[in-house]
Amino acid sequence: MSTSSHVPSGVQASRAAAVWRDRLSLLLESTGEGVYGIDMDGLCTFINRAGAHMLGHEPEEVLGRNMHELMHHTDADGGHYPVDCCPIYNAFRAGVPCRIDSEVLWRADGTSFASEYSSYPILDGGQVLGAVVTFVDISDRREQETKLRQAHDELEHRVAERTQALSQAVSQLRELQAHIDGVRETERQRIAREIHDELGSLLVGLKMDVSWLEKRVADQPALRCKCQDMRGLIDGAVDNVGRIITDLRPSILDHQGLWPTLEWQAQDFMDSSEMRCHWSMEIAPGLNAPEGPLATAVFRIFQEMLSNVARHAQATEVDIRICAMPSDLTVRVRDNGRGAPPSVFNSPNAYGVMGMRERAGHFGGWLHIDSQLDKGTQIILSMPMYQVAAQAQTRHSQERAA
């Protein structure tokens, strides 16, 4: 027969309770968190050694004391913390648990530490008897968070500075490119004029001299034939000079404006290519064509669009649409050629595309390219007509004057 059968049941229950109290005490003492209990008056009923030492006390000094007055009496800013606002007290008064990580607790020496604490009501048969509170010192965590936030803010500041510097550099490069384009166009215009005035006049004079000479050697077939050959060469030279002048700077742009120039360029492309071309131009009634650098930019971009089709597309059909409204000018060139992946148009070596985009961007416009392998390519240019363009032209004029 077991000896335990001779022990009264009340004694067994007392021993069991003592064993569980010992085990609970060991558990509370083994944890690194602070743990204490309070009754309905907020007085400490128990506290583990880690919690007492965290507050700068011995456990015996804390028992029976009001915990709010002991460690929670003041907020982080040094102001009085009313007990009615204390989440720990509200936890057992309302019977609702809470978890707070934005407050401080106070030590015996008057210093505070950032704390994370949880308060859970103690219930017995539905009646609240008090609360159990656990708390930890999160000062190191707060310090790391502060350092991380400072590092993040510093990084954001540096990124903002670099982004601003990069934006300024891009803007300066765009302005420089626009200036270079303007200087190039001015130089082209000057060279074209000089070729026309000097070389053109020289060739005309030479042709007249050859004609004069041909009349005086009419009785000498060999010399007459040579004069005719010379006149043919001079005519070819005149044609080539005219073509070079047009390539440098088409006079139609300076004398008749952008609309006739775009139409002439499209017609020249249709005449010189072997593609089926569909062409249309829609101009709002009474709309004047832009002039100056904006007109030159539109013409050069349109010229490059058609040149890309002729050189790379391997197309049999091309559709050209130009639509000018008071708000914007849209130029669309679509072909049924071989197409290309987006990487081709975004390549650092795609200087033609980059040039078109830079020209458009300088005047507040944009260039969109939609291309698929074996399905052709569509390029759309959109340029603001007056407000943004006028500002860009004014800036360009100021830069040239400077």
3-state secondary structure of 100: strand
Write out pLDDT tens, residues 199-223.
888 888 888 998 898 888 888 889 8
Rounded distance between C-alpha atoms, residue 345 and residue 135, angstroms: 61
Mean pLDDT of 14-19: 50
Q: State how far the alpha carbon of 117 is from the alpha carbons of 98, 101, 110, 163, 337, in Å.
A: 8, 6, 19, 43, 71
Write out pLDDT tens, residues 65-85.
999 999 999 988 889 999 888
User: What is the percent of the chain where pLDDT is above 70?
Assistant: 89
Q: Which of 117, 137, 157 is the last residue of a domain?
A: 137
> Is the residue at 299 inside a domain?
yes
The answer on pLDDT for 6 being more than 70 is: no
Beta-carbon contacts of residue 11 (< 8 Å; ≥ 6 apart): none
> Is the residue at 330 inside a domain?
yes
Read off the CATH number of the domain in which 272 is found. 3.30.565.10
> Is the residue at 154 inside a domain?
no
β pairing state of 328-335 and 376-384: antiparallel
Write out pLDDT tens, residues 161-172.
998 988 888 888
Give the pLDDT of residue 393: 54
Read off the CATH number of the domain in which 74 is found. 3.30.450.20
CB 400 within 8 A of CB 182: yes
Give the pLDDT of residue 395: 52
Write out pLDDT tens, residues 120-142.
888 877 788 888 999 999 999 99
Number of domains in the chain: 2
CB 320 within 8 A of CB 355: no
pTM value surpassing 0.85: no
Structural domain including 317 reads 253-402
Cα 85 from chain centre: 46
Q: Which of 91, 119, 137 is the last residue of a domain?
A: 137
Give the pLDDT of residue 17: 47
> Is the residue at 368 inside a domain?
yes
> Is the residue at 237 inside a domain?
no
| Sheet containing strand 112-124, strands side by side | 44-47, 34-39, 127-137, 112-124, 98-106
> Is the residue at 174 inside a domain?
no
β pairing state of 317-324 and 276-283: parallel
The C-alpha R_g of the chain, in whole angstroms, comes to 45
> Is the residue at 361 inside a domain?
yes
